[in-house]
Amino acid sequence: MDQDEILLDTEERMEKATSMLHTQLQGIRTGRATPGLVDSVRVEVYGSQSPLKQIASVTVQEGKTLVIRPFDPGTISSIVKAIQGSELGLTPNSDGRLVRINVPPLSTDRRRQMVGRVKELAEEARVAIRNVRRDGNKHAEQLEKDKLCTEDELTALKEQIQELTKSYEAKANDMAASKEKEVMED
93: pLDDT strictly greater than 80: yes
- Percent of the chain past pLDDT 70, that is, above it, reads 99
What pLDDT score was predicted for residue 154? 92
pLDDT band for 87, please (50, 70, 90 cuts).
Answer: confident
pTM of the model: 0.73
Q: Other CB atoms closer than 10 Å to residue 37's CB: what's the count?
A: 23
The fold for domain 3-26+107-184 equals Topoisomerase I; Chain A, domain 4 (1.10.132)
Q: Is 35-102 assigned to CATH 3.30.1360.40?
A: yes
The residues pairing with 44 across neighbouring beta strands, listed in sequence order, are 49
